[in-house]
Amino acid sequence: MISFVWAEDKNHVIGVDGHLPWKLPNDMKRFKDVTTGHPIVMGRKTFESFPNGPLPNRLNIVISRNADYKVPESVVLLTDKSELSEYVKSDDEVMVIGGSGIFNLFKNDVDRLYLTRIDHEFTGDTKMVPIDYTKFNLIEKKEGVMDDKNVYPYTFETFQKN
């Protein structure tokens, strides 16, 4: 199963200058809760945005057109999405975490969406690929809790393909 995990603002912005345009610790916690124990698939720029290297307790898979791109030994480098089946089991929930090029690559394969919808407008240079929500059912919606560290209104939404 292919799942997308991401956060976006009112205008579908997901990134700026290679990182998230916001600080939302509760979204980071949800991301960790949802992806831990699952393979995560990302592009090179997303991988390079991790301040401490590969994310722990997850198989980190980077897709890059550059076959010579250097990744740590624990990270799998693919140059084509068809190679993914060599590294994941058929019953794995594979978490696609970005960026937009990688979401675009898997947009016709995605079964589940884990979306954090942030009710705010940010400046950004990367937007989420368009998703046809008529092909999905909203199966969970949870209003986010705002506090001194989570200052933007947000909602956690989970969709399952029809």
17 sits in the region (left: phi over 0; alpha: psi -120 to 50; else beta) called left
Structure tokens at 110: 């995605």
Model confidence pLDDT, tens digit, residues 65-81: 999 999 999 999 999 99
In the prediction, which pLDDT does 131 show?
A: 97
- Residue 104, Cβ neighbours under 10 Å: how many? 12
Structure tokens at 25: 């610790």
Structure tokens at 26: 């509760």
pTM: 0.97
- What residue ranges define each of the domains in the chain, with the CATH number in brackets? 2-161 (3.40.430.10)
> Residue 132: what pLDDT?
96
Label residue 123 exposed, middle or buried (CB < 10 Å: 0-12, 13-18, 19+).
exposed
Q: What is the DSSP letter of 83?
A: G
Tens-binned pLDDT, residue by residue, of the chain (162 aa): 999 999 999 999 999 999 999 999 999 999 999 999 999 999 999 999 999 999 999 999 999 999 999 999 999 999 999 999 999 999 999 999 999 999 999 999 999 999 999 999 999 999 999 999 999 999 999 999 999 999 999 999 999 999
Return the number of other C-beta atoms located less than 10 Å from residue 157's C-beta.
Answer: 17
